[in-house]
A and B are shown apart, each in its own frame.
Chain A
């Protein structure tokens, strides 16, 4: 049972902007732990997309951006491209569970 809640799916046409939320609680995101985002293309391992709430690793396009506020975080993709079709997971740490926690995952579909 995931501690972080994400919408199951979001979709958009090429070029559009889509966003997805990651809702936690006072023992994880709300406690000040950073939120990280991973992209998982079909049949492949997850890849780090955003770290420390807002930072992009080298090589990640600036179309991807992250934000955090209170007990939630968000990932936005602007200028949606066909290659962005993937599953996206948020991740943080939960002090009550003493565990790394993942979101439920959001499937992005490019129409």
Chain B
């Protein structure tokens, strides 16, 4: 059974940093691209960042480019999102999502989400 378990969310002041983790199990982590998708309170889904399995190449939404860094540890089967220079508009539930392949551009499994609140 595929499981994605996010952790690391919480309350942070504007300008601060936070690192999210996503522990993956139930599938061969090294062969699938992974993404972070967020959802602001009462709003729709927004893709944040993705990392490929083949070469760990990364991509980012313009809204987070230069501030967020996605990475993966294939030995620990864990996905990360380092978030720096956080802004109020980054407040959201952050979901870890598994691609159906290596950049098939389809999310077949999602974690339960981790809430990040940026406020003074």
Binding site for B on A (CB under 8 A): 2, 33-34, 36, 38, 40, 45-48, 51-52, 57, 87, 89, 91-93, 97-105
Apart from A45-B110, A48-B107, A97-B62, what are 6 other A-B pairs with CB-CB below 8 Å?
Answer: A45-B95, A46-B107, A98-B59, A99-B61, A100-B35, A100-B50
- In chain B between 89 and 115, which residues have their CB closer than 8 angstroms to a CB of chain A? 95, 100, 105-113
Query: From residue A19, how far is it (CB to closest CB) to chain B in Å?
Result: 19
Tell me which of A52, A92, A102 contacts B46 (CB under 8 A).
A102
Range, interface on chain B: 20 to 34
Interface core residue of A38, A57, A99 (most chain B CB under 10 Å) = A99
| CB <8 Å contact, B106 and A104 | no
| CB <8 Å contact, B106 and A51 | yes
| B44 interface contact, C-beta 8 A | yes
Tell me which of A46, A98, A103, A105 contacts B95 (CB under 8 A).
A46
Number of A-B contacts (CB under 8 A): 58
Query: From residue A45, how far is it (CB to closest CB) to chain B in Å?
Result: 4
| B45 interface contact, C-beta 8 A | yes
| CB <8 Å contact, A102 and B106 | no
Main DSSP-derived SS at the B contact region: strand
| CB <8 Å contact, B45 and A34 | no
Query: From residue B52, how far is it (CB to closest CB) to chain A in Å?
Result: 13
| CB <8 Å contact, A36 and B95 | no
| CB <8 Å contact, A91 and B108 | no
| CB <8 Å contact, A104 and B107 | no
A/B interface sample: 13 pairs, CB < 8 A = A36-B107, A38-B45, A48-B106, A48-B108, A51-B100, A91-B107, A99-B47, A99-B61, A99-B62, A100-B47, A102-B44, A102-B47, A103-B44
Q: Interface 1/0s, chain B 5-28, versus A by CB < 8 A?
A: 000000000000000000000000
Query: From residue B6, how far is it (CB to closest CB) to chain A in Å?
Result: 10
The distance in angstroms between the C-alpha atoms of A33 and B106, with both chains bound, is 11
| CB <8 Å contact, B47 and A104 | no
| CB <8 Å contact, B105 and A38 | no
- By a CB distance below 8 angstroms, the chain A residues around B107 are 36, 38, 46, 48, 91
- By a CB distance below 8 angstroms, the chain A residues around B37 are 46, 100, 102
